[in-house]
Amino acid sequence: MSHVVVVGAGIAGLAAAWDLKQAGVDVTVLESEPRPGGVIVTERRDGFVVEGGPDGFLAAEPEIPALSAELGIAERIVRQEARGSSRWTGTAFEPLEEGGAAALLGIETRTADLAAGFCTLADGMGELVTSLAERLVGAQHAAPLLQLGQPVTGIGIAGAGWRVAVTGGSTLEPDALVLALPAYAAGPWLKQIGLQGSDKLDEVFYAPSTTVSLAYRADQIGHDLEGSGFVVGAQHAAPLRACTYASSKFAGRAPQGHVLLRAFLAPSRDDSATIAHTQLAAILEIRGEPLWSRVFHWSRALPRYPERYALHLTALRERFARMAPVALAGAGYDGAGVSACVRSGREAARVVLGRLGG
Ligand SMILES: Cc1cc2nc3c(=O)[nH]c(=O)nc-3n(C[C@H](O)[C@H](O)[C@H](O)COP(=O)(O)OP(=O)(O)OC[C@H]3O[C@@H](n4cnc5c(N)ncnc54)[C@H](O)[C@@H]3O)c2cc1C
């Protein structure tokens, strides 16, 4: 039986592993962190559901519904409730046309796709990760399929296959490799094995992101929360860039009589929770302090690709065809949205299986 190592247990790596496992090959997923999911993190606190990374996916995209159906959790998908967003001018809210908030935040998506709104899972985006991880682990018989806390330190060529070095000195020698890692992590390894054109991966710029989730009692909020949130006009230097009314956007995000807000901040040296609360309190007429807040700092969050990146990737992948089976997957290559990452992971599995003759 062929052995495939998937490096990285973000959603792209998990989706790749799912298809590889279904195809009957022996799979090992190596993940450096103690939990799977990468930037998908959902936490529960006092009856609130808090998202650290993505809070949903575009309803117009079929990848997550299709995968959820395979996992038996299709009925767990829920649609966005509150729709529409506004722009804070500094003194008042102005309604934004559909897609306007995404455009102001620099997110590239087709307006037609945005018009259909967003979906998530009843317990948050982490439910997709948990379900995938459980099904993968449950499917395994011998060595653990999903190995957490196992940072890969490098890759090399070993005969007709690969050598994968893991922190602590152990090595694996699989027949095929899926690198489901950010571009800044995969690039140096590909350079090290002499793959021409892999420099381009260093040019993918990952913008930092800080989000602060804040819990309040509903009676603390003086202003009506209309729609799913607001963005702050680009002319303002304020650290607050946008706010999602998380408990209006999706059902079940806060207990009865409570509100969950999620602030998106520009990088700042000051205390993010204090900045978020102070700015939101002024705009939304909030009385008193939040019940609690939760900050997520992502030093490298959403990737921005260099010019002509797709062409470079095509050339790189053509060179892969002359090596032992290997594929790249994830946000660093084929689109940053969760749906695109699922598509990319599944495509990587398809390519590797094709090379293995499976
Ligand atoms: C704050 C934020 C909000 C977002 N909001 C949305 C949204 O609302 N909707 C949407 O569609 N998308 C959103 N996105 C984008 C989307 O969530 C991500 O692009 C996607 O989840 C990335 O998945 P991935 O598997 O490619 O990468 P990652 O999640 O980065 O996974 C890569 C994995 O590789 C592991 N790894 C790295 N180096 C090694 C190593 N040496 N050895 C072993 N493992 C390693 C990492 O620990 C990680 O688990 C958001 C992203 C962020 C950060």
pLDDT in tens, 119-171: 999 999 999 999 999 999 875 555 689 999 999 999 999 999 999 999 999 99
Q: What was the pLDDT predicted at 107? A: 65
pLDDT of 98 over the 90 cut: no
The Cα 26–Cα 288 span in angstroms is: 55
pLDDT of 235 over the 80 cut: no
**Considering all CA atoms of the chain, what is the largest pairwise distance in Å, rounded to the nearest integer?**
67
- Give mean pLDDT, residues 224-235: 90
Which of these ranges, 40-54, 59-73, 131-145, 175-189, has the smallest mean pLDDT? 131-145
Confidence category of residue 233, pLDDT binned at 50, 70, 90: confident
Question: Ligand 1 center to residue 10 CA distance, Å?
Answer: 6
HSE of 143 in the Cβ direction (CA atoms, 13 Å)?
10
Q: Which residue has the higher pLDDT, 224 or 104?
A: 224
- Give mean pLDDT, residues 268-276: 93
Q: Which residue has the higher pLDDT, 39 or 110?
A: 39
Question: Ligand 1 center to residue 25 CA distance, Å?
Answer: 25
- Residue 51, ligand 1, Cβ within 6 A: no
The Cα 268–Cα 76 span in angstroms is: 37
pLDDT of 114 over the 90 cut: no
Question: Ligand 1 center to residue 190 CA distance, Å?
Answer: 20
- Give mean pLDDT, residues 318-334: 96
Mutate to test the pocket of ligand 1, among 29, 39, 108, 264 (most ligand atoms within 8 A of CB): 39
Question: Ligand 1 center to residue 357 CA distance, Å?
Answer: 30
Question: Which CA distances in Å does 156 have to 152, 172, 174, 175, 323?
Answer: 12, 10, 11, 12, 11
pLDDT in tens, 173-217: 999 999 999 999 999 999 999 999 999 999 999 999 999 999 999
Give the chain's mean pLDDT: 94
pLDDT in tens, 289-301: 999 999 999 999 9
pLDDT of 89 over the 70 cut: yes
- Residue 182, ligand 1, Cβ within 6 A: yes
Q: What was the pLDDT predicted at 298? A: 95
Q: What was the pLDDT predicted at 190? A: 97
- Residue 109, ligand 1, Cβ within 6 A: no
**Amino acid identity, residue 31?**
E
For residue 338, the ligand 1 atom closest to its alpha carbon is: 11
- Give mean pLDDT, residues 308-336: 96
For residue 211, the ligand 1 atom closest to its alpha carbon is: 1
Confidence category of residue 104, pLDDT binned at 50, 70, 90: low
pLDDT of 103 over the 80 cut: no
Question: Ligand 1 center to residue 15 CA distance, Å?
Answer: 13
Question: Ligand 1 center to residue 331 CA distance, Å?
Answer: 7
Question: Ligand 1 center to residue 39 CA distance, Å?
Answer: 4
- Residue 31, ligand 1, Cβ within 6 A: yes
Question: Ligand 1 center to residue 244 CA distance, Å?
Answer: 20
- Residue 55, ligand 1, Cβ within 6 A: yes
- Which residues have C-beta within 8 Å of that of residue 85, sequence separation ≥ 6? 96, 100, 101, 227, 228, 229, 230, 231
- Residue 39, ligand 1, Cβ within 6 A: yes
Q: What was the pLDDT predicted at 273? A: 97
- Give mean pLDDT, residues 20-40: 97
- Residue 204, ligand 1, Cβ within 6 A: no
State percent of the chain over pLDDT 90. Answer: 87
Question: Ligand 1 center to residue 40 CA distance, Å?
Answer: 6
